[in-house]
Amino acid sequence: MPRSYKELREVIENKDRGLREKVMSLTEAIHLIQDGDHVAAGGCHYSRTPMAAIWELIRQKKKDLVYSRSISSTEGDLLLVAEATKHVITSWFSPGVTWGVSRAMRHYIQEKLAIYEEWSHMSLGLRYRAGAMGIPFIPTRVMLGSDLFPRLPELKEMECPYTGEKLALVPALNPNVAILHTQRCDPYGNVQSEGLPFMDQDIAGASDKVIITTERIISNDQVRRSPDRTSIPFFQVDAVVEVPYGCLPHECYGYYEPDFSHMDYYVKLMMGKGPEGVKEYLDQYVYAPESWTDYLEMLKFGDILRATTDGRSVYND
């Protein structure tokens, strides 16, 4: 059952919403996530994925999470195989069109080891938006007539009281914790993202707690110089962690493209050996390194350099 409006409001009302510093370590920030929580990740597909946060929550052996994301890529495989989640809410789930259908995802879903709850991309976005707006649902004109509809008991149909039209009602989604990666954030949690905003703003507004990992921590003065660039206000944020290259091997707009050679390496391992390949990957790249910096050192510098050069090229004319 979804939580009542009163319950959802109380969480927000009881938060310390004052202007205060929230900078902490990745380990401390991920301690905010409890087993069983609904964790929503920002970014989309292999772009602005909060990979460091996901990497750390796997290392902290979080269990029974509900995981939602607009589109899930390789990070979804890692969460399934690490058994951090058995319930994924998304609209599309595989590394990327040129890499084929995830064999890890197929194994977990086809063997009924996990649930993939499929919503259309826009309806999932409207669910977060309704959550952020503090309303129980949003009417829309998608999902109607499809076979997705009867598989989603929470999705309802109604006759519009004004026009008599048939509409789909998508219910609000209010995650317990949002994990979002950004390019710039101040110590209080004012987020200034660049490039595609994806669903981050609505996810932040819908969630009880928000963890921000950022390429750079900037000063509050810098934020106040361009407040029009702020997409998430400080009082929605609970933790700020500086994690340069925090999306790798995925991309961060204007900073780096995906590390395509590492993506190819991962996909080959995962498609070749299925979940066993992902387990090998987890052992080597998630459990073994002592820190995120140690993990980065395992990637090839030449590949990161190329990803960085290409990433910055968005600002070339």
Partner 1 sequence: MEEVFTMTKNSYNTAELVAIMSARLLEDGKIIFGGAGMPLISCVLAQKMHAPRLTILFEGGVIGPHIEPGKLPPSTNEQRAARRGNMHLSITDVLLLQQRGYVDYGFLGGAQIDQYGNLNSSFIGDADNPKVRLPGTGGANDIASLASKILVAMHHEKRRFVEKVDFITTPGYLQGGDSREKAGLTAGGIYRVITHLGLFDFHPTTRRMRLEALHPGAQVEEVQENTGFEMLIPDEIGHTDPPTEEELRILRELDPDQRYTRAKDE
What's the token pair of residue 45? Answer: 């597909």
Binding of residue 164 to partner 1 (CB under 8 A): no
Binding of residue 101 to partner 1 (CB under 8 A): yes
Binding window for partner 1 (CB under 8 A); candidates: 57-65, 88-96, 172-180, 206-214: 88-96
What are the two backbone dihedrals, phi and then psi, of residue 121, each rounded to the nearest 5 degrees?
-55, -45
**The only residue of 14, 98, 162, 302 in contact with partner 1, by rule CB under 8 A:** 98
Binding of residue 145 to partner 1 (CB under 8 A): yes
Q: What is the DSSP string of 136-195?
A: SEEEESSSTTSSSGGG-TT-EEEE-TTT--EEEEEEP---SEEEEEEEEE-TT--EE--S
Say if residues 86 and 39 touch (Cβ distance below 8 Å). Answer: no
What's the token pair of residue 41? Answer: 């990740």
**The only residue of 25, 34, 60, 120 in contact with partner 1, by rule CB under 8 A:** 120
**The only residue of 22, 38, 62, 129 in contact with partner 1, by rule CB under 8 A:** 129
Say if residues 165 and 27 touch (Cβ distance below 8 Å). Answer: no
Please tell me whether residue 212 adopts helix, strand or coil conformation: strand
State the minimum distance, in angstroms, from the CB of residue 47 to partner 1.
Answer: 4
Binding of residue 110 to partner 1 (CB under 8 A): yes
**The only residue of 26, 168, 169, 191 in contact with partner 1, by rule CB under 8 A:** 168
116 to 41, 57, 78, 86, 259: CA distances (angstroms): 15, 20, 14, 8, 27
Q: How far is CA 90 from the centre of its chain?
A: 10
Closest to 79 measured CA to CA, from 262, 287, 278: 278
Nearer residue to partner 1 within complex by CB, 34 or 120: 120
Binding of residue 202 to partner 1 (CB under 8 A): yes
Binding of residue 93 to partner 1 (CB under 8 A): yes
Binding of residue 272 to partner 1 (CB under 8 A): no
Taking residue 70's Cβ as centre, other Cβ atoms within 10 Å add up to 25
Binding of residue 44 to partner 1 (CB under 8 A): yes
Binding of residue 137 to partner 1 (CB under 8 A): no
State the minimum distance, in angstroms, from the CB of residue 40 to partner 1.
Answer: 13
Which residues would be at the binding site for partner 1 (CB under 8 A)?
44-47, 70-71, 90-94, 96-102, 105-106, 109-110, 116, 118-123, 125-126, 128-129, 140-148, 151, 157, 165-168, 195-199, 201-202, 251, 253-254, 257-258, 310-311, 314
